[in-house]
A = this chain, B = another copy of it.
Amino acid sequence: MIRHAAIFKLIHAAGSPQEASFLAALAKLSAIPGVGSFEIAREISLKNAFDFAVSMTFADAAAYEAYNTHPAHVAFVQSRWIPEVANFMEHDTKAL
């Protein structure tokens, strides 16, 4: 099982309608086939410069790739992620 996570900071003010709109659009990615354990979380540590995290699981690399190339994901990245995310870091992990 692969866990995919992205930690990110938006260009929007905390608590703004723009922030809520982005998070709502992000949440819809959970409907893409193959996505499991989808979770959006708020960063509460002061030890890093990110505000949110999104994580999900895939059964295998093929399922992950199907998500990456799914039209709904590609459209989200182009129309929301790239213009509205100020900074991010991706993580893909496999439990030992």
Residues of A within 8 A of B (CB): 2-3, 7, 23, 39-45, 47-48, 50, 53, 89-96
**Distance in Å from the Cβ of A4 to the closest Cβ of chain B?**
8
A-side binding surface: helix, strand, loop or mixed? strand
A48 CA to B47 CA, complexed, in Å: 18
A2 to B53, CA, bound (A): 13
Q: Which residue of B lies closest to A1 (CB)?
A: B41
A15 to chain B, nearest CB (A): 13
A sample of 19 more A-B contacts (CB under 8 A), given A41-B96, A44-B93, A47-B89, is A3-B41, A7-B91, A39-B95, A40-B96, A41-B93, A41-B95, A42-B93, A42-B94, A42-B95, A43-B91, A43-B92, A43-B93, A44-B92, A44-B94, A45-B90, A45-B92, A48-B90, A48-B91, A53-B93
